[in-house]
């Protein structure tokens, strides 16, 4: 082979070797950079998994009121439709709509002239019968004297006695007629049968009203005190009766949103029958309502104080989790490691729930960040107040 060809072949081999070395060096650099990037991305994940940041509260103990809440309706302690008891022209209305009235206040007047005339006629009839009775009584006395002298017969005396008795009965009937006429005349003045707030006027002056009218002139409602009729599940009946046996049972009325407290009263009674269609029992509570915060027909939430549980273990309701084996909470042990703890709970009050089993107080439980936890995971604590220490509203 010529010497020139040999030199060219060697040159090509050297170039290929240089290219291969450069490629290997570049691949090594690229792999090193990829490994560094992967390690840098993995490190935060490992650190996050190693220490989970959570919010923690310390399980506390406190006296917790146990309430039962039912939807109710406000009712006046007395509700009366103001009707006319006689027929006639409504002459005058003397009340102002929405006015607070007292028992006996004059509310309206009906034209009294016909009833005054009837009373005068009954009195005149009585006076006539009294005059006849007086005359007949004198005739009877004379007849009794004459019969003793055999001047008149006993039959005449008996007839005269019958006339006197008849007139006496007529006088008694006249007295009844006078009382009736007097009562009808008094009915032309319509008065308030009790204290209360008068409602909207439904009949204007000048209209003819009748005793049998279905529509009332207005409605009078006694709002001080007021009642609340509400319902509870029938299964709570025995608990409510036990509470009543211990003494007066407090009931608090809240607005429809169950936020604003309107009034505080006492449970008056439990209805004597359970509604089988809804499995509920009706209850009635009375409220002084001196500030008129309860309004007839208003829907309210009635909160009945069943009992107060002393020194109960309480946890925030948000800390309670549900798993395949029931309810549990995450606790942080002395080593700063999270572990689940099975619990049993009682009634809830506000944002707190009573724990009847599984906790004794003083444990640190996770209230936020539970979804990131696994058994045995170390945690970092962001806060650790005592559950219930800030109130339970």
**Hey, where are the domains in the chain?**
53-66+311-381, 69-75+222-308, 112-187
The CATH code of the domain at 112-187 is 1.10.287
Q: Lowest mean pLDDT: which of 235-249, 301-315, 339-353? A: 339-353
Q: What phi and psi, each to the nearest 5 degrees, are found at residue 105?
A: -65, 140
The model carries a pTM of 0.65
As a whole number of angstroms, the distance between CA 232 and CA 229 comes to 10
What is the C-alpha separation between 118 and 102, in angstroms, rounded?
Answer: 31
pLDDT score, position 340: 92
Q: What is the CATH architecture assignment of 53-66+311-381?
A: Beta Barrel (2.40)
What is the mean pLDDT of the segment spanning 355-373? 88
Q: Please give the average per-residue pLDDT across 165-177, as a whole number.
A: 93
pLDDT on residue 43: 45
Higher-pLDDT residue of 44 and 80 is 80
Distance of CA 107 to the CA centre of its chain: 33
Helix (H) or strand (E) holding 141: helix 113-148
**Contact residues for 190 (Cβ-Cβ < 8 A; gap 6+):** 82, 84, 106, 107, 108, 109, 110, 217
pLDDT for res 8: 54
Rounded CA separation 239/17 (Å): 95
Fold match between domain 69-75+222-308 and domain 112-187: no
Domain 69-75+222-308: give its CATH superfamily: Efflux pump adaptor protein, beta barrel domain (2.40.30.170)
Residue identified by tokens 């009121």 is 65
Give 161's pLDDT tier (boundaries 50, 70, 90).
confident
Residues in contact with 360: Cβ distance below 8 Å, sequence separation at least 6, in sequence order: 59, 313
């Amino acid at each position: 082979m010529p010497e020139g060809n040999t030199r060219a072949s060697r040159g090509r081999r050297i170039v290929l070797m240089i290219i291969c070395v450069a490629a290997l060096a570049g691949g090594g650099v690229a792999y090193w950079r990829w490994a560094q990037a992967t390690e840098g991305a993995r490190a935060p994940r490992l650190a996050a998994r190693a220490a989970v940041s959570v919010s923690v509260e310390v399980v506390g103990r406190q006296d917790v009121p146990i309430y039962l809440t039912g939807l109710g309706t406000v009712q006046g302690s007395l509700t009366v439709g103001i009707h006319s008891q006689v027929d006639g022209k409504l002459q005058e209305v003397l009340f102002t709509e929405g006015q607070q009235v007292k028992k006996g206040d004059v509310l309206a007047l009906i034209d009294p002239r016909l009833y005054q005339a009837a009373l005068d006629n009954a009195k005149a009839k009585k006076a006539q019968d009294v005059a006849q009775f007086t005359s007949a009584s004198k005739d009877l006395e004379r007849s009794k004297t004459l019969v003793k002298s055999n001047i008149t017969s006993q039959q005449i005396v008996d007839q005269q006695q019958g006339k006197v008795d008849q007139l006496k009965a007529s006088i008694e009937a006249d007295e009844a007629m006078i009382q009736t006429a007097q009562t009808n005349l008094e009915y032309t003045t319509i008065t308030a049968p009790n204290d209360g707030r008068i409602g909207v006027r439904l009949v204007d002056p000048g209209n003819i009203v009748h005793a049998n009218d279905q529509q009332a002139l207005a409605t009078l409602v006694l709002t001080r005190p007021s009642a609340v009729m509400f319902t509870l599940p029938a299964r709570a009946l025995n608990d409510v009766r036990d509470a009543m046996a211990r003494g007066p049972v407090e009931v608090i009325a809240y607005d429809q949103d169950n936020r604003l407290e309107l009034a505080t009263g006492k449970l008056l009674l439990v209805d004597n029958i359970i509604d089988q269609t809804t499995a509920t029992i009706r209850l009635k509570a009375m409220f002084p309502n001196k500030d008129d915060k309860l309004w007839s027909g208003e829907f309210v939430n009635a909160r009945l104080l069943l009992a107060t549980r002393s020194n109960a273990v309480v946890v925030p309701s948000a800390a309670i989790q549900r798993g395949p084996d029931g309810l549990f909470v995450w606790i942080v042990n002395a080593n700063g490691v999270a572990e689940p703890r099975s619990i049993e709970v009682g009634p809830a009050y506000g944002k707190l729930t009573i724990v009847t089993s599984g906790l004794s107080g003083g444990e640190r439980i996770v209230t936020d960040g539970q979804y990131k936890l696994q058994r045995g995971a170390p945690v970092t604590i962001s806060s650790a107040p005592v559950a219930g220490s800030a109130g339970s509203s």
